[in-house]
A and B are shown apart, each in its own frame.
Chain A
Amino acid sequence: MNRNLSRYGALAALLALAATAVPAAAQNLTGAGATFPYPIYSKWFDTYRQKTGVTINYQSIGSGAGIQQIKAGTVDFGASDAALSNDRLKELPRPVLHFPTVAGAVVLACNLPGFKGTLHLTPEVLAGIYLGEITIWNDKRVAAVNPGVALPSAPILAVHRADGSGTTNIFTTYLSAVSGKWKELVGANTSVSWPSGVGGKGNDGVAGLVRQTPGAIGYVELAYAKQNRLPIAVLRNRAGRFVEPTLASTTAAVKGAAAALAKDVRAPIVDSPAPDAWPISGLTYLLVYRDQKNRVKGRALAELIRWAMRDGQEMVEALDYARLPEAVVKVNEANLLELTSGGKPLLAGQ
């Protein structure tokens, strides 16, 4: 029995040696978390495997569960649609770095019976609707920003996500940024205590409710609204312009927040000051321990992120994600150099 054990031990040591001798030849990385970036991540990871042989197993189990997994150390990287607050970072055993990968936008889909044209909204009207203060479409506050068009007298049904989601986090972060009352009464999180309206499960649940309830308005991801051709509203941004949600206006929002992101990559990018920015935008992040326990794996992971920042960005728009502006790519590249294993940097500067 004992002899057997020691034989296995020797075999394991040999295997370990072999693994260090041939770096990245057959590397396996595991990650878990956010569902929102899953389509682009699976495209990235598949392309990357074909190029380099590094296999990445990503499970889209939700941001909250992804954070639990990285906390427990069962995965090599986590993924979250919401950046971790300082308090939550303290719950983790070791320092973690955030790497934003792509940007997404949250848009407002609406169903106004007999209404032709595009609904115009201001931050005040939007907050009023979700606070339950504006309950009918031909309210004078809505009419004031839609001059010259007849609004229906239908009651407003404000639809939100019933399931906890990064989409809700971006939307409520935006409302907290533009409405003091919202910030005080409700706040921002992956799910909140909604003062009014009804909830649908998932983007499809919200879109389903909006599509079939006259008078309904709901927020969904830009990609989902585009692929399903939902009628969407335009919104006045901080610069005072009414903008349409597009991939370009989302990237513009990230660009407008670049200075804040350079200081702390977790800074919210909602209500961006850039003149052509769509204000309800957000980033999705990879969560990586600053000091990697396994040097070979850590290096493979750092190289993967570096690839995603360059070649990877060329693929994102085909899947309806907004790419990162050059300034934010540079911030990520600088942060990659901070990744270490046993105190020694994983990547050399270029």
Chain B
Amino acid sequence: MGTPWPARPPGRARRWAFADGAYRGLLTAFALFVFVIAALIVYESARGSGLSVRTFGWSFLTSTEWDPVAGRFGALPYLYGTLVSSGLAMLLSVPLGLGAAVFLAELAPRRVGDAVAFVVELLASIPSIVYGIWGLFVLAPFLRTALEPWLIRHLGFLPLFEGFPFGIGMLNAGIVLAVMVLPTIVSLSREILLSTPRTLREAALALGSTRSEAIGVVLDAARPGILGAVILGLGRALGETMAVTMVIGNASRISASLLAPGATMASVIANEFTEATGDLYLSALIEIALVLFVLTLLVNAVARLLVHWAAGGRRDVAGTA
């Protein structure tokens, strides 16, 4: 936007003006199209959830009862399930992903880094049902026979690890989600680290810092961009449906234990929408979609603020543009 356009040959000015105008109009329409879609989503889900909103009001967000027989609906178990499974996924994937990205960008030979990055990006294109099947048939038996009995034996006194080792539940969902968002975090963070100015590392090393201190300097500079990568991964975790449905256990109960089954907002919509009997039931499911949309919006807004805050006004470093 900022750079001035070069002067045009005077004879062709009119034709240029027309082409410019048309081009500009076309691009503006494309940009507006995104707004229109978002607005339509909000409009449709607000319209569809009207009945549920009028019936339950704010108690929809605080009630734990989801009873299609009695026609009483509360979304708290799903809100909780979405936040806990995504939170667990980020807890596992952020340290792992960041570590991998630092290794690939800073320590590994460029060739190795490129090869690993290629494989990581390949992971991102695996359909989510494959992750779900992996969670159900590979991860669940491992959790059931190895990890969960161990957790119960050694940490069973914590409410976090109470219960029976069945292999499916919140823990399984968190791990599957972590694996799914890992490629996003690794490949984006690596790109951002690679795009930080070389001079930063050179300056740090020249001032006598060790290699790890120099990496610290680079990481600090890349902080806003890395945060963006993490937020993008979180967005994927919040909305993931298929894989989570297969491994989370689909029980609309809130339980402190990670070994217990749960359910997420996306999974309950996918499960119950087609056979929802009655207008209020359908309306309640659409309201969950609306809540999920608002939650995603909030997460994105908070992320923007965080990136802004992390950038601290430095608009000269990579990843802030």
Q: How far is the CA of A14 from the CA of B169 in the complex (A)?
A: 63
A45 contacts the other chain (CB 8 A): no
Q: How far is the CA of A212 from the CA of B145 in the complex (A)?
A: 12
- 0 or 1 for each of A173-216: is its CB under 8 Å from B? (1 = yes): 00000000000001111111110111111000100110011001
Cβ-defined contact, B274 with A193, below 8 A? no
24 contacts between A and B (CB under 8 A): A63-B277, A64-B277, A67-B277, A88-B277, A88-B278, A157-B166, A162-B250, A162-B267, A164-B271, A186-B69, A190-B275, A192-B68, A193-B67, A193-B69, A198-B250, A198-B261, A199-B249, A200-B246, A201-B271, A208-B137, A212-B141, A213-B144, A213-B167, A213-B168
Of the four ranges (under 10, 10 to 19, 20 to 34, 35 or more), the interface on chain B belongs to 35 or more
Cβ-defined contact, B275 with A163, below 8 A? yes
Q: How far is the CA of A163 from the CA of B241 in the complex (A)?
A: 13
Contacts of A155 in B (CB 8 A): 164, 166
- 0 or 1 for each of B27-40: is its CB under 8 Å from A? (1 = yes): 00000000000000
Could you tell me the distance in whole angstroms from the C-beta of A170 to the nearest C-beta in chain B?
13
Q: How far is the CA of A186 from the CA of B263 in the complex (A)?
A: 19
Contacts of B206 in A (CB 8 A): none
- 0 or 1 for each of B125-138: is its CB under 8 Å from A? (1 = yes): 00000000000110
Choose one: B140, B251, B270; the contact of A197 (CB below 8 Å).
Answer: B251
Choose one: B66, B166, B251; the contact of A213 (CB below 8 Å).
Answer: B166
Contacts of A67 in B (CB 8 A): 277
Known contacts A187-B69, A193-B65; A165 and B169 CB within 8 A of each other: no
Q: How far is the CA of A209 from the CA of B246 in the complex (A)?
A: 9
Q: How far is the CA of A145 from the CA of B252 in the complex (A)?
A: 32
B86 contacts the other chain (CB 8 A): no
Cβ-defined contact, B274 with A62, below 8 A? yes
Cβ-defined contact, B250 with A192, below 8 A? no
Contacts of A314 in B (CB 8 A): none
Q: How far is the CA of A216 from the CA of B278 in the complex (A)?
A: 32
A65 contacts the other chain (CB 8 A): yes
Of the four ranges (under 10, 10 to 19, 20 to 34, 35 or more), the interface on chain A belongs to 35 or more
Contacts of A163 in B (CB 8 A): 270-272, 274-275
A87: nearest residue on chain B (CB-CB)? B278
Q: How far is the CA of A197 from the CA of B164 in the complex (A)?
A: 11
B245 contacts the other chain (CB 8 A): yes
A82 contacts the other chain (CB 8 A): yes
Secondary structure type dominating chain A contacts = loop
Choose one: A82, A157, A186, A198; the contact of B277 (CB below 8 Å).
Answer: A82
Cβ-defined contact, A164 with B272, below 8 A? yes
A135: nearest residue on chain B (CB-CB)? B164
Q: Give 10 A-B pairs besides A198-B168, A198-B251 with Cβ atoms closer than 8 angstroms.
A: A61-B274, A63-B275, A162-B250, A163-B274, A164-B273, A164-B276, A187-B70, A190-B68, A200-B246, A216-B166
Q: How far is the CA of A313 from the CA of B140 in the complex (A)?
A: 43
Q: Which 9 pairs across A and B sit closest by C-beta, in order of nearness?
A: A164-B275, A199-B250, A62-B274, A162-B250, A187-B69, A198-B249, A193-B67, A64-B275, A163-B271
Cβ-defined contact, A91 with B279, below 8 A? yes
B278: nearest residue on chain A (CB-CB)? A88
Cβ-defined contact, A188 with B69, below 8 A? yes
Cβ-defined contact, A62 with B251, below 8 A? no
Cβ-defined contact, A201 with B66, below 8 A? no
Cβ-defined contact, B251 with A194, below 8 A? yes
Known contacts A163-B271, A198-B166, A209-B168; A190 and B277 CB within 8 A of each other: yes
Could you tell me the distance in whole angstroms from the C-beta of A322 to the nearest C-beta in chain B?
22
Q: How far is the CA of A186 from the CA of B69 in the complex (A)?
A: 7
A200: nearest residue on chain B (CB-CB)? B250
